[in-house]
Chain A
């Protein structure tokens, strides 16, 4: 099929404009973070950080509690995702490989749980955590984040478990493995990519969570990075350089993780959406 010159140019031109539009906010965050303040506070924007500086990163990192909050965020996220992977894998295995009464009901429970409107449930969660005397603690955060990602993890892992041929498992059992051994030695290694892909979205959810920590952990040293970042700008006046440095520090782990796992995760889940 032949296309006219204009017909060949406009898709590419549109694509370039769109790509710039999608990249620009991310670029502008890094650009601002690396520019000296006089290049930020100008009537005409400075498009490239020609006089690059790390002073804004120093400001952000030296802000009170930064390292404690970063530690909190990492701890809560890793624990929540790790726990949910273990729990979900057990459940997913049962739901895909075994027949039992109530299977349908349990499946539906998780599908409904996946749509749970956590944002509007903060009130009752606040009161429950308060009654348990656990406000300003990382424990409730870890557990609730674990449950926020659990239904999705379980339902997605179901697909990956189903993709491992049952024959592999059976032949291992014929060779004398117990069902548990067959699972650990044969099925589990084959599930590794699936586990990585699924955990990526768990990481993003837990790392980003905002409403719950906003309500539960008011004590400055017990928060997480999203809370810190959302309050950073008001705390530091209009220091946009430091604010953008803080945003960069917060965004980089997820951006890196996403770009690393993107082929496996997005590729695996959407069958080649981003493979050029």
Chain B
């Protein structure tokens, strides 16, 4: 989802090559491919055709993504607050915004918080997702269908709708969670205010994000395990390998590209998570659950310090790039290999 979508977009990305390739992406090239098409076809395509076909997509990307990006970089060197905005002033500030942010304790605290938050969520998602995926592979047909349907339902739930439902589940007075905890003997939790403290707010957000992300990992992992040749498992069992040994020696090595792609996509997705955190408590209490994207948003749009906000958002992108550099390099390498095969 896109992040959701956007999360949906990001979340579904590995399917374009890893978990299960779309049909035929790597299909054997037809022999006819090697002869230049111009010689075989009666209507030779003009040389401009590919560029014309790509023009709308490239133009849209340049205007709607490239320009905001450039503007963001320019903004980050400007002093742009309410006054400058209204009077249409351009006040260049050099690296002032960056110096201020990098010198502030707040920024580093939020950065550290974001990294820990991302790490905890991704670890939970990957471990539980893999376990559920392996469970799916072990189940009988009917049970597997049931669990798959439940997973698909959770997966399809729109982010904002899910966030609202989780607010209701964790409602302090009539929420089911507090009722259940009370029943289980934790009477102190009967009217617990989940969004009252930093840790409990993060707990709710984490449960929400993990609940939303598990189906993607689990279903894809299950789909990927079906591509592993059965003989490998039989051989491993024959050699007396236990469940854990089978996983580390057969499943994991075989699905390494899948694990890599999924982990990094989840990192990107969790790191960028905006609606969940914002809609649950707007980064509160006392801005204690702000992650970098929310921090940039509150500083820029909320407090009307657009220059500062832009600088924070660029630093956020740098942190994200640093966290995913390894994967990006791998993807580019792989893409170049495919290119050479063409």
Q: Which A positions have Cβ atoms within 8 angstroms of B?
A: 1, 11-12, 14-16, 18-23, 25-26, 28-29, 32, 40-45, 87-88, 90-91, 93-95, 98-100, 103-104, 106-111, 113-128, 143-144, 146-152, 154-156, 158-160, 162-167, 170, 173-174, 176, 178-179, 194, 201-202, 204-205, 207-211, 214-215, 226, 229-230, 232-233, 238, 240, 243-244, 246-248, 250-251, 254-255, 258-259, 262, 266, 268-274, 276
Whose C-beta in chain B lies nearest to the C-beta of A44?
B179
Closest 8 CB pairs of A and B: A163-B24, A159-B22, A276-B145, A258-B156, A273-B223, A120-B313, A94-B53, A19-B150
A128–B163 Cα gap in the complex (Å)?
30
The DSSP consensus for interface residues of chain A is helix
A164–B22 Cα gap in the complex (Å)?
12
Given contacts A11-B139, A124-B72, A160-B22, 14 further A-B contacts (CB under 8 A): A1-B237, A15-B147, A19-B146, A19-B150, A26-B165, A44-B179, A104-B336, A123-B306, A159-B25, A164-B24, A166-B30, A230-B279, A273-B222, A273-B223
Please name all residues of chain A whose beta carbon is closer than 8 Å to the beta carbon of B316 when the two chains form the complex. 117, 120
Question: Known: A123-B72, A159-B25. Contact between A276 and B148, CB under 8 A?
Answer: yes
A-B contact number at CB 8 A: 381
21 A-B interface contacts by CB (under 8 A): A15-B143, A26-B153, A45-B174, A104-B335, A111-B332, A111-B335, A113-B61, A115-B324, A120-B272, A120-B297, A122-B301, A123-B297, A123-B301, A148-B9, A201-B9, A208-B8, A251-B157, A268-B22, A270-B19, A270-B220, A271-B223
- CB B271 to nearest CB in A, in angstroms, measures 8
Q: Identify which of B8, B15, B64, B272 contacts A119 (C-beta below 8 A).
A: B272
Interface centre among A11, A41, A143, A254 (most CB of B within 10 A): A11
- CB B101 to nearest CB in A, in angstroms, measures 14
Q: Mark B76-88, 1 if CB is under 8 A from A, else 0.
A: 0000100000000
A209–B26 Cα gap in the complex (Å)?
33
Question: Quick check: A215 and B301 within 8 Å, CB to CB?
Answer: yes
Question: Quick check: B65 and A116 within 8 Å, CB to CB?
Answer: yes
Question: Quick check: B68 and A240 within 8 Å, CB to CB?
Answer: no
A117–B319 Cα gap in the complex (Å)?
12
- CB A169 to nearest CB in B, in angstroms, measures 9
